[in-house]
Structure 1
Amino acid sequence: MERLRAILVDDENFTRMGLLKLIDWEGCGFRVVGEADNGEDALEEIRRTSPDLVVTDIRMPVMDGLELIRRTAEKDGPQPAFIIVSGYDDFKYAQQAVRYGVHDFILKPIDEVEFAATLRKLSDRLAREKEERRRAESGLTGAAIEALILGESDDISEAEWRRKLSLAPGEGVRYALAELNDRHSWREPDVRTPTLAKFKERIREALRALPGSEEEERPFWLHEHRNRIGILITDRMLRPFGGDEGRFGAELRRAMGELGDDTWLYVGSPVAQPTELRLSYETARQALQYKFAIEGGPVLVFGHLRGIELLHTAVDAELIGRIVEQIEEQGPDRIEDAVDRLFRYIREHRFAPEAVKMCVQQCAIALIRTIRNMEGDENGLESLKPIVGWYDLHLTPGELRRLLTNFARESAALIEKLRGEQAMGGIQKIKAYIDAHYRENINLKSIATRFYLNPAYLGQLFKKTFGVYFNDYLLLLRIQEAKKLLRQTDLRIYEVAERVGFGSADYFVTQFEKQEGMTPTEYRGRLTRQGRGAEA
């Protein structure tokens, strides 16, 4: 948070030291930037530091506090607020102080709780007033920059633009786009995403904290785009960084604190004249296209990217197929390897953002298609919404990789579960098919082909599920049906063999004898003898 600046004025050194030690200035929204022991020195300190607040005694040598306030009020430009701290409980001083617009009159000895409350109240008021001034400034600046980046500034001279933008003669400028990334509820359920206006204000505060920003009070020109903040970066702002845009961007991110960790900066080409700013804006937008193509980030300077070709078409469908197959076959444990392989391909082939979008969509669609083909429902996946809705957000390559990895892992786990369910349901379907078609010329290989299974796998699954090998079960069905036909019909043996699926009568007789311990003829003869005995 940007702190307001304060100076302390008192001819007694121990009073100033007491104020410094007693009061939590930072907690009250201020930082003390200067001190003075008389009004004349204080006037010079005010000129030098442009404070937001002056805390002053009344009676001092050379120039007293009231004269200091009067002389300061005569100056043009923004005026600091004043708090009078005095040991003299004299109504006339209070009257004069009110006429000069003094914020408060506090008696010595100071009550630190009361004084801190006064400071916090004043800090809130000054912050609001600053914000109002900045909003007014932004309105003007926004219109000016909008005209510049759209190339609609023909009716305004170069000199006038330099005056509007506080640019020194010959000072160059470049346009940059600041982008806040990875702020979404899929990353952290309670993540707080600042509004664009708050993001803009944080950038402004960080700019004020950069080296060299206090040398001269020139405004920082920021512009709100639909979902990014435009920054006008002048030669003056780059001077402490040796003119290096990358170092400037890194320091800006650091000054933004926790918010800076998620901020990416895209810097356009420098231009010599403000009226050429449209070119810098367009190249900043081009730098955006390298977000997934260049390793490193998060400060992309167009001048470093010039000449690097980008791929705008989708990835080879064959590669997508291999990666999805790898995800399906390997299960959740090794998903990350497959996703990393995809992102290496994206970076090596310099994919533009729209190509990355198509690539991720193709992977997601292929996995969803597999789930649906297995009669599953992808809508139950928690990772589905992020992977189909990410393109409307600003995501870093690392965060997109994380979302795709999560989706791939969850999809693979569901596919594995469906495969298990399908295996159990499928083996029942296979058994029902055998029960209905055992009279036909079927075998393990033909059934495995029919149900898209490996014959060896089918044989193992059948034995595990039903406790009997496939061939033994098929033989049992055929022998049971043959016994029925031998009991209930006068079909010849070869006719019975054909009816129950044996291609050879001899083979039928051999298998029947193994199972029943007698030939089909003997089986039928025994039944005939038993019938005659019953009649006698």
Structure 2
Amino acid sequence: MYRVLIVEDEFIVRYGIRSMIDWEKAGIEVTGEAANGKEALELIHLNPPDILITDIKMPIMDGIQLIKEVRNSGYAMKIIILSNLEEFQYAQKAISHGVSEYLIKSDMMPRDFEKALMNVKVSLDSIGGQATIDEPARKEKLLLGLIEGSSYEEVIIEEAELGELHMPAFLLHIFIHSTDRGFIEKQHVIHETIEHIGGDRKFAVFADKQGEINVLLPIPHRASSAETVSEEIWAKQLARNILSNLADGYGLDCTIGLSGRACQWTELSKAYSQATAAAKQRLFLGTGKVIAYSELTAAKEDGGTPIKVSQSHIHTLLYGLQTKELNEYVGSLFDQLGQRKDPDLVQIISLELLMILTSMWPDVSNDQDQVLHLKKQYFDQLSKLETIKQSREWFIQAFAELQDHMIRIYNSDRNSIVKATQYIQQHYQQEISLQSISQFVHLSKNYFANLFKKEVGESFLEYVTRVRIEKAKVLLAGEMKAAEVGQLVGIPDPKYFSKVFKKITGATPSEYRSLVKEDKEVF
């Protein structure tokens, strides 16, 4: 089945292209979409399609430049241009780069589009099934298949496809911490560095599907069999040289994960898993270094006890303005994560803490634009954290900023609690809910509930119930029936009124009335 990449800046047009024909029936699969030439080029380097369908006018990189870059990179994929009539002069330039079909968007009917695809498909069939690419790109594609777990037989027909590359070998996974470099630029920089360091030795530089760069290091043949340890020392030193050159020559901060020794091509998938696992340990060991998989210690299981984030406990500490205790709690979470040395678990716990932060800000701020901006800022900052130490400090600081905001608004909101208690004293006989009273004082429900308890010393429900029982005690001193008293103080269910009254006073309404008449001490 042939693979297609659709490049068009308007989503609705991309959707229309996808919906226009039965791709599976045509023997074609849409494997990717891009909104401009730059995005498309990165996808092409990762997984070259057989057919490229592209618009002409697009932001960042237009279709003409995209086609030039594709051809300059040695890709011989078939290209179909989608254009408007007024863009024909641009299309003529593209046609000079070997475009297979040219279609006018406004005139294009499903049958026209299907016919163009079938023409391209016939052309591909005639050259043996797939658009040919240059040797370096073909090697990258083959190596990508091997690290993804494809069997040697599935990926390679003849070993000659990989040229002078051989096994055994080590695999380097290079993680570049700079976020302002595009995929193409990162790959180019590493290619240059490897060429500078490698000399006559044949190494392979290729990207995985996440856009991270990997380097295959075939172990040099020696007259006598070298020990595995000495081979790893050689690979690690080479990796350190790469780090040094990337830092000194390009100002790049990188971390390199070094796999164990792979003896067969079928072991490359395992080597890739080892190299990426080693590189992820930068979270605990720090960045800017070479981390060998063989040096990793097993993660501590801590008796199998799961690490749990208690949202209720964090709320209590925040609303109680217990800064020291909150810092200690967040710090303890990261201490446990540091012992486990599980990068995936760090991401999970960090996400849980982030959700607590982003859910609490709307409760304590009426400026929704500010809250939205803060959420975006949080996600952006969190994505740039490289070590568990940075994550720990960032979360402690973020919670401190939230608590500082709560302290600043606390004094003004105390007046809202006074207003709420006055309202309850005056309207106790009516139905009063937490939702209605928080709306009355213009505070969020959760924030009001916590602030009320802190200021009054008891929960909102406890306070309302106590006020009603105090009013009931006064009324029971007269001749009014208990059920009528319950109605007047806002507790219409006689059984529930009697139960609540006894819980608070220690006596039922009838017993209380008798005690009052006997002029005995009552509560």
TM-score grouping bracket, smaller chain normalisation: 0.3 to 0.5
Greater gyration radius? 1
Q: TM-score, normalised by structure 2?
A: 0.47
